[in-house]
Amino acid sequence: MKKNRVWLSLFLTFAFLLSACSSGNNGSANTNAGSKEESTGENAGMAPAKLTIVLYGDETNRMKELAKTEFYDVIKQEINAEVEFQFLPWSEYAGGKTDLMLSTGEDFATYTDINYMVKSVAKGVYADLTPYLDAAPDLRANVDEASFTAFQLGGKQYAVPVGNKPNSAEFYSVLVRQDLLEEVGMTSVSSLAELEEFYDKVHAIHPELIGYASTDARRMLLYDFTDKNLYWQNEFIALDESAEDDQIISWFESEDFKKYAELMRGWYQKGIIPKYAATNTPQLQSDWNSGKAIFWAGTAARPFEGAATISQAVPEAKLANYFLGTGRPKISRGTYSTAFFVSSAAKDPERYVMFFNLLQKNQELYDLFAYGIEGTDFTLDENGRLTKINNDALIPDWLLMNKNFMRFDNSVPEDFIAEYKAWDDGAIISKGAGFNFDNTPVKNEETKLNGVFTEYLAPIGSGFVDYDEVYPRALEKLKAAGLDKYIAEYQKQYSEWYAKQN
């Protein structure tokens, strides 16, 4: 069992997911108009450009201020561009307002995941960034090549990865409130039984707290419902990483899904997943951020991502990662944090790529975008350890995370830093890493399947409804929507790709 314990007074004090929406800093480009009309850096002589970067979560007052001052000046000097940062609620990510902005031809960039990229490229709303990659030499030096490959389709780069951090076994560990664990006389959790015991003991003395701050525990509970080492390609497709073959798994037709759904049903009935989750899932995230939840799915970085949010509400809170079982290697998708796409309507895609490069260019710029101004927002000691003066979030910490530049607070033990940096040791790259499904032949079927997923499969998988009662109807709907055709097309493409890799 691998354990990472970290106190919540850590160096990263940004909130990971917040729900408020801000309209950005409209007009910020005019605040310093005339101060740097032309770039004075290595890109002097370029025509001025205006860029819009969409971020998700809450825009803090300090972010607004820096966007109009130091951020503005540096970006202007480096790439002769004015950037407007717009903030949207997380509910608008990979859909909602983001889809609307793409469909109406707005000029902007924001981050994406692979599944959203595939769907969006099929609609023709992402710009092909392949011709502009030379504009990001520093980013390419600080982000591994496998991360770039992950966001390619047909040999073309449709999103530029940012970040370089331990990413293996994402959401396969359980992130617990270690302070609560110790309060009830436990020191660790290493099985489903111990996790439920932990919930029972905490619930007995803190009935106001919820158990699990999510509705998806497929990865976290893997050791209890299957002997496979599953890794999900999307909601419908999984791979068994312990099998050296090209066979995909139709997740919702598998016996493992049934076992998993039954586990989640038990959690929902017991109250580990609160009843309101069925109609108000976003509240779970709010409860976690405010210290009202007992555990969550973990990653290498989650013990300190968004740490300030919980510690502000519960100063004594501590977090720790545990795995519920051992014996299977961690699976990695690559070391990126996220990847930025540029809308196909953008007038200057290359300038956007140049902006992405700034985010991972050097220590000085990383410090600026992640932490602010030295002496005003943070201080550094002789060992490069960071102390925050201003706790307002800037560009989201999780987005920028790069182990080449990350700074740690003095309160972070050296052994934790060593464990964090070694988190990926022994991990294996997924045998599906770099494969991106072209949904064009089954686009209509996929649309219908997504509808069935939302109406039937997601509630079953979250435990909101009983598997035996609802699944037969759900399977009937899946088949009618074209599941067999979709699975066959996915298998065909994956097998062809797999054969080339091997």
Q: Residue range 463-478: average pLDDT? A: 98
User: Rounded to whole angstroms, how far apart are CA atoms 117 and 14?
Assistant: 26
The per-residue pLDDT for 154 is 84
Q: Is 51 helix (H, G, I), strand (E, B) or coil?
A: strand
pLDDT band of 327, cuts 50, 70, 90 = confident
The per-residue pLDDT for 438 is 86
Element (H, E) at 388: strand 386-388
Q: Residue range 308-333: average pLDDT? A: 87
The per-residue pLDDT for 306 is 60
The per-residue pLDDT for 10 is 37
User: Rounded to whole angstroms, how far apart are CA atoms 400 and 372?
Assistant: 13
pLDDT band of 409, cuts 50, 70, 90 = confident
**Domain 19-164+335-375, classified CATH 3.40.190.10, yes or no:** yes
User: Rounded to whole angstroms, how far apart are CA atoms 482 and 489?
Assistant: 11
Ranking 16-30, 70-84, 479-493 by mean pLDDT, the lowest is 16-30
Element (H, E) at 426: none
User: Rounded to whole angstroms, how far apart are CA atoms 278 and 282?
Assistant: 10
Ranking 95-104, 273-282, 311-320 by mean pLDDT, the lowest is 311-320
- Buried b or exposed e, range 311-344, using 16+ CB within 10 angstroms: bbebeebbbbbbbbeeebebbbbbbbbbbbbbbb
Written as six digits, the tokens of 148 are: 């770039």
Judge contact between 77 and 39, C-beta under 8 A: yes
Pairing of strands 331-332, 428-429: parallel
User: Rounded to whole angstroms, how far apart are CA atoms 230 and 253?
Assistant: 14
Per-residue pLDDT tens digits for 147-180: 999 899 888 999 999 999 998 999 999 999 999 9
Q: Is it the case that residue 14 has pLDDT exceeding 70?
A: no
The per-residue pLDDT for 307 is 67
Whole-number Cα distances in Å, 357 to 62, 141, 351, 360 = 23, 10, 10, 6
User: Alpha helices, DSSP H only, in 376-466?
Assistant: 397-400, 414-421, 443-452, 458-461
Whole-number Cα distances in Å, 227 to 94, 131, 334 = 33, 44, 24
The rounded mean pLDDT for the chain is 89
Higher pLDDT, 38 or 45: 45
Q: Residue range 121-130: average pLDDT? A: 96
Percentage of the chain surpassing pLDDT 90?
A: 74
pLDDT band of 268, cuts 50, 70, 90 = very high
Q: Residue range 416-433: average pLDDT? A: 88
Q: Is it the case that residue 36 has pLDDT exceeding 80?
A: no
The total number of residues shown for the chain amounts to: 502
User: Rounded to whole angstroms, how far apart are CA atoms 153 and 160?
Assistant: 12
Torsion of CA 75, 76, 78, 84, to 10 degrees: 30
Q: What is 285-309 written as a DSSP string? A: HHHHHTT-EEEEEE-SSTTTTTHHH
Q: Is 146 helix (H, G, I), strand (E, B) or coil?
A: helix
Judge contact between 28 and 84, C-beta under 8 A: yes
User: Rounded to whole angstroms, how far apart are CA atoms 281 and 264?
Assistant: 15
Q: Is it the case that residue 11 has pLDDT exceeding 80?
A: no
Per-residue pLDDT tens digits for 214-264: 999 999 999 899 999 999 999 999 999 999 999 999 999 999 999 999 999
End-to-end CA distance of the chain: 32
Higher pLDDT, 409 or 264: 264
Ranking 86-100, 392-406, 415-429 by mean pLDDT, the lowest is 415-429
Per-residue pLDDT tens digits for 353-373: 999 999 999 999 999 999 999
Q: Residue range 434-459: average pLDDT? A: 93
Domain definitions of the chain by residue range: 19-164+335-375, 440-501
Q: Residue range 108-122: average pLDDT? A: 93
